[in-house]
Structure formats: C-alpha cells, structure tokens
Amino acid sequence: MILLGACAGWSLITAAAHDGRPEGVLLAVLAVTAGHATGRVSGALLPVAAPSAGAVVGLVLAVTLPELSPGPRYAAAPLGHAGATAALLALATGAACCAAWATPVPALRLGLRAGAAGTVLTGAVLGSTAGCVAGAAVLLCSLAAGSVHRRGVWLAGLAGATAVVAGVTWAVAAGVLPDGLAGVFGGRSGPHRVQLWQDALRLAGRNSGLGVGPGRFGELSRTAPQVPVSDGKPHSALLQQAAEQGLVGVVLLVAAFCWVLHALWRTPRPAPVALTAGAALTALAALASVGDALSFTTVTAGAGLLAGWATARPWTGVGGSPEL
C-alpha cells in the first residue's frame, strides 16, 4: 500500500511541477491495486478455479479485443500494439500453469497444462511472435519449477534476467553497445522504437530530478510526430519513467517489481505456484522494457490478479474470514 501510494503521489508531484497528465499512471496504479486485492480474495477461496477462469478471460481478451490485436488495424504503424497481446498471452499461460500446480487432481492438472500449451499456440496463430515466445518460456519454467527446492535462487535469477533486458534497452538507447549487436537489436525493434528510446534518454538526462511530467513525452519527443499512428509514448516503461518522472520514478518502478518477487518468495503457496507466477511477471517486465505493454489497463490489472493468486493464503475455514 505504501509503495503504490508513493507511485501515485510522485506522479501527482511531477505532474504539478510540469503541468503533466498523471491520469494514465493513476489508472495503472488503481488497476494493479484492484487486481491484486481481487486476486488475494479469489485465490484464498478458489485457488484452482480463480486462476483457471483468469487464464480463459486473458486468452479471450487477447483474441477478441481489436485494440490489442497486432493485425491489419495497426499494420501501418511500425510499433503496433503487439506488446499488450504478448503480455496477456504470457499472463494467461502463467495463470493456467498456476492453477495446474494448485490442483491435486492429475487429470485436471494435465488439462490445464494442455490449455496453457494451447495459449502458446494461439500466439503463433495471432501472429504474435513475442506472445508465443513469452508464453513458451513461462510454460517451460513452470514445468521445471516442480524440481526446484530453493525458490529464492530461482527468483533471484528472474530478477537478474529482467535487469539484463532493461540494461540492454538502456544501452541501446545510450548507443554504448557494439555496432554489430546494436544493429541486430535495433533491426528487430525497428528504427522508430530506438529513436524514441533515445529521445526518452535525452529528456531524462536533462530532467533527472522531476522528469518532464507524466504524459508529456509525445509533446517533447523529436521522433514521436514522425511515427504513423503514434501514441506519444517511448514504448519502454523504464525509459518512460526516467523521462517523465525522473530517477525517483525509475526507483519506484523497480521497487514495485522487487516487492512482487519478495512477496512470491515469502508466500505460503507451493514453490511451483510462486515460481510460475514469477516467470510470467518477469516475461511481462521484459515485454514492458521494450514495448508498450503497461499502457493497457487489462495488462496491469492482469498482473495484479496473477500476483494476488500466487500470494493468497488458502482459506481453511477456521477463524472466520480468510487471512489476506
């Protein structure tokens, strides 16, 4: 509560300092908070049914919502909105795998894992390469989690993987990678995306204290007006925080992710459930480092739900209400 309140409060401070628009940040904080609370309650009462239903809903949203589709509607935009589709597919795969580990019924566990595999294949059918790869990584990590005895080491590895992706993104924006590696990464990300990252890093360097204000990147970026169907964002959550809310904003974003990993380390749920959720949220963090995944309320709410399901204390029916 304190950390999420600090995120909301800092966005209001930076917005007041530069006449910014904090509504997007506040909506994201509200979505995460509501999702986490709902996940804790439903996960305590229905540890198998709740994430199973969530996996189905996430898959349906990824397939049916046109604003999330990487298809023809955004074909003219080099950046597209495929990050949200990939994120929902990764979260849906993680939810199905968490439900599979939570059930003691072998047949149901097999069926849920088959559903998770189907979600991965759906990413390929939708043309979301990132979603297919992210979902496959979550599924493989979930299968491997059954033989893990020290969840702390695994979660530290997930944190390290996220740091590597974020570091590479920052290095590409700063132009410090070798030409060959930078060319490969830039070619896969698209020239406009790298230029947006560079604009964000330039703005962050000039306004490291309070940033330029939430929602103002599109106004000050040199590249954003040149991008077809531009949404005025740098398509990197880390660099957007640095540009719009300064170093404090970056620290708060990193602290929120670290808190989630700490909660998964301390959760009373079985280790495979916690590690599967950690893998899915790490996939989301990686997608958010190089894309616009966190710009969609459905994604932020889904992340809160998955974290809530994985950290809920199953209700035994003793002592009245479940401990949340």
Q: Side chain identity at 136, as an amino acid letter? A: A
Which residues, in sequence order, are CB contacts of 314 under 8 Å at separation 6+? 43, 44, 47, 268, 269, 322
pLDDT, tens digit only, all 324 positions of the chain: 899 999 999 999 999 988 889 999 999 999 999 999 999 999 999 999 999 999 999 999 999 875 554 433 333 333 445 688 999 999 999 999 999 999 999 999 999 999 999 999 999 998 888 999 999 999 999 999 988 888 999 999 999 999 999 999 999 888 887 766 655 565 555 667 888 999 999 999 988 889 999 999 888 888 877 776 667 788 899 999 999 999 999 999 999 999 999 999 999 999 999 999 999 999 999 999 998 899 899 999 999 999 999 999 877 665 544 444
| pLDDT single digits (tens) 97-111 | 999 999 999 999 999
The CA distance from 267 to 280, in Å, is: 16
DSSP one-letter code for 19: T
Sequence-separated (6 or more) residues with CB below 8 Å from residue 58: 88, 89, 91, 92, 95, 302
Structure confidence by residue, pLDDT tens digits, 188-217: 556 678 889 999 999 999 888 899 999 998
**CA 302 to CA 148: how far, in whole Å?**
26
The answer to whether the beta carbons of residues 131 and 89 sit under 8 Å apart is yes
Task: Of 119, 100, 101, 122, give the one whose Cα is nearest residue 111.
Answer: 100
58 to 90, 92, 241: CA distances (angstroms): 9, 5, 26
How wide is the angle at C-alpha 149 spanned by C-alphas 146 and 153, nearest 5°?
110
**Measured distance CA(116)–CA(93) in Å, rounded:** 5
Q: What totals of helices (H) and strands (E) does the chain contain, helices first?
A: 13, 0
CA distances from 287 to 122, 133, 270 (A): 18, 11, 26
DSSP 37-86: HHHHHHHHH-TTHHHHHHHHHHHHHHHH-GGG--SGGGTT-SS-SHHHHH
- CA distance to 59, 64, 77, 126, 151, per residue, from 71 (Å): 16, 11, 11, 8, 39
Q: In sequence order, what are the residues at sequence separation of 6 or more whose Cβ sits closer than 8 angstroms to the Cβ of residue 256?
A: 3, 4, 7
Entry field: residues in the chain: 324
